[in-house]
Chain A
Amino acid sequence: MSTPDLSVEQLDKRFADHVAVDRLSFAVERGSFFSILGPSGCGKTTLLRMIAGFTVPDSGDIRIGDRSMRAVAPNRRPVNMVFQHLALFPMMSVGENVGFGLARRGVAKAERARRAAAMLERVGLGGAAHKRVDELSGGQRQRVAIARSLVLEPTLLLLDEPLGALDLKLREHMKIELKQLQAAFGTTFVYITHDQSEALVLSDHVAVMNHGRFEQIGTPQQLYYEPATPFVAGFVGANNRIAGRALGVDAELVELVTPQGWKVRARRSGSIAAGEQVAAFVRPEVASIEREAGQLPPHMTRHAGEVQSLLFDGANSAVLIVEQQTRFEFRVALPQTGRLADLTPGAAVFFGFDPQRAICFSAPDGAGGGHA
């Protein structure tokens, strides 16, 4: 691995009443797409602002391209930022927006115009230099904001939830575009978002942040299939969270019982002692649903339930089932074949899941949130 483009060491920031960033250390590899994913208020914006230099850390160090940023002013850092609402300058044309940073570096006017036009060409906005910012669509503005930063060839590009203001269709489209731009330029991107789908689709590595700390750093696949903490399991992807007390623990599996008395089994993660408070997580697509108990695959646990509601969402369709005895709400993905599409609320069904593909954590204070 080459020297990281960004390394953060023991970074700490406290505001009057809470800890925003709590002794955080991490490194971001050169040329990678790194996302910081967390709920609002987790400290991700503060972290990004400290990297950009707008907020001064209480302690710790930020190194960009192996240079400490401790005494470097925000306008002298090799870092550019795409702001949440883009912050394009409405008083300037598109070309002047892209040329702004070059002008500040003393690049001559003709050269500036040439480089701005070339950059606009690269992001697919050739010939838009003379346009006014408000003549552009949301997606085009997005590209201008990125072009305005990348024309300065920064070591690091910071992106502060730039897709948040776009409508769903455009957001999906811009996700793909962002990933392609990053691949084309090879610049290291640090992207913050509260939208797990953005983080999973775009990133090489994702850090899940909560209360000023990283719960887990990993590839999107690691976060999804091997969550390290109950918080990650609850936050990344949809999950059924079953909280209860551990009844029995063996080498692999934990049997737990919910306060209402529903017993389930799940794979153990970390050390768990019998009697401890635990939380198990089962993804909707891991569970199966059938009309007859016998139709469920043999390695699955079997539970009787009743359909509460159908949540039709195309490929993400699911059924909300309540367990017969304990009325526990459980979400199961509908088979893609449309085989069970005629289920109606109130129908009696059987459902189950492979305990090996469910995961159980120790959760002493009920940590880990609910359904995500």
Chain B
Amino acid sequence: MPETVAAASWQRRMMLAVLLTPALLWLFALIILPHIDLALLSLRERIAPRTYVASLTQYRTFFAEPLYWGVFVRTAILSALATALTLLVAFPVAWIIAKVARGRASSLLFVLCLIPFWVSETVRALGWLILLRESGVLPTLLVRLGITAVPVELLYHNATILVGLIYTSLLFMVVPLVSSLESLDNSLIEAAYNLGGSGPSILRQIVIPHAAPGITSGCIVVFMLTLGNYLTPNLLGGKNSQWFTELIYTQFIVRFNWEQGAAFGFLLLALSTGMVALGLRISGQRFVDVMRRA
């Protein structure tokens, strides 16, 4: 009955198409379409009111202006640093949740990581302001304890921005790490001990290679979120936080220079793509495998 078989396979294909349509529509309408428009915007120059010509001026301006690429590099370095520090903070947390805590304790710890995310990011960042501003909780405490003579301003430092970014990103690192550590068979660790392994050698040779896809996917997600974060660097870093997303915001909203803003947007996209590719290359992972584990 070839007709029936053909009909069945056609039906299956239609079904797949129907199921995929919302995702494809979303991808097209919200990602691809605006990016095509932005790409065109970034590649033109206004020479007179309502008169535009194709040009690379927007990109040229970026490289010609030290402030622009200085902020760009600074954002990249601080984001990479924040990602690395998030990994260092999240790994022990994930290890305890996946391997040390049992049953209810493990779920409870996981929920504790999640709870801050019930509060909006804005409110969380404002919480840091209350804690860290000159007249805030922590500087006052430092004076009371006699550690500093006068209240110190703890806001508007690079370290403050990093603390805020790590706090915001922690969950996105913990989740893939927990899932990759949970899949590590305990008997592998015991076998390594049994064969004479020590804590650091087992971490290096057994645990990290096993968790590598989880580590990589956590790092990719955290790096992208950090790089594209606007609120936390802006609130904790103040006027001089010099985060690249702020430059984009300024061009679009303050300067009303959409062409320049679009070019900055593409440069940021290129940066995150390049850094992720570099990270994958260094860790020897494949993107598809990593995303499957995330």
- Residues of A at under 8 Å CB distance from B? 52, 54, 74-76, 79-81, 83-85, 87-92, 100-101, 104-105, 148-149, 152
Contacts and interface: CB of A to CB of B under 8 A. Distances in A.
A152 B196 contact: yes
Nearest to B206: A89
Contacts of A89: 188, 191-192, 205-206
Most buried by B among A75, A79, A84: A75
Nearest to A54: B190
A52 B194 contact: yes
Contacts of B158: none
Interface of B: 185, 187-188, 190-198, 201, 205-206, 209-210
A85 B193 CA distance: 16
Nearest to B209: A91
A74 B197 CA distance: 9
B283 to A, nearest CB: 13
B197 A100 contact: yes
28 contacts: A52-B190, A54-B193, A74-B190, A74-B194, A75-B195, A75-B196, A75-B197, A76-B196, A79-B194, A80-B194, A81-B190, A81-B194, A83-B187, A84-B187, A87-B185, A87-B187, A87-B190, A87-B191, A88-B191, A89-B192, A90-B210, A91-B209, A101-B195, A104-B196, A104-B197, A104-B201, A148-B195, A152-B195
- The 3 tightest CB contacts between A and B, nearest first, are A101-B195, A87-B191, A104-B196
A79 B209 CA distance: 26
Contacts of B201: 104
Contacts of B185: 85, 87
A91 B210 contact: yes
Contacts of B188: 87, 89
Contact of B187 (A85, A100, A101): A85
Nearest to B199: A75
B145 to A, nearest CB: 41
B187 A105 contact: no
A96 to B, nearest CB: 9
Contacts of B190: 52, 54, 74, 81, 83, 87
B206 A81 contact: no
Nearest to B189: A87
B183 to A, nearest CB: 11
Contacts of B187: 83-85, 87
A164 B100 CA distance: 28
A78 to B, nearest CB: 10
Given A80-B194, A88-B191, 6 more contacts: A75-B197, A81-B190, A83-B190, A87-B191, A100-B197, A100-B205
Given A85-B185, A104-B201, A91 B196 contact: no
Contacts of A152: 195-196
A89 B187 CA distance: 10
B198 to A, nearest CB: 6
B83 to A, nearest CB: 23
A187 to B, nearest CB: 15
Contacts of B210: 90-91
A46 to B, nearest CB: 14
Contact of B198 (A87, A92, A100, A104): A104
Nearest to A98: B195
A36 to B, nearest CB: 18
Contacts of A105: 196
Most buried by A among B191, B195, B205: B195
Nearest to A148: B195
A317 B29 CA distance: 73
B180 to A, nearest CB: 12
B193 A75 contact: yes
Contacts of B206: 89, 91
Given A85-B185, A104-B198, A74 B193 contact: yes
Contacts of B195: 75, 80, 100-101, 104, 148-149, 152
A75 B195 CA distance: 6
Contacts of B196: 75-76, 101, 104-105, 152
Nearest to A101: B195
Contacts of A92: 205
Contacts of A84: 187
A87 B201 CA distance: 17
Nearest to A100: B195
Contacts of A91: 205-206, 209-210
Contacts of B198: 75, 104
A315 to B, nearest CB: 37
Contacts of A90: 210
Contacts of B194: 52, 74-75, 79-81
A79 B195 CA distance: 9
Contacts of B191: 81, 83, 87-89
A282 B11 CA distance: 66
A101 B193 CA distance: 9
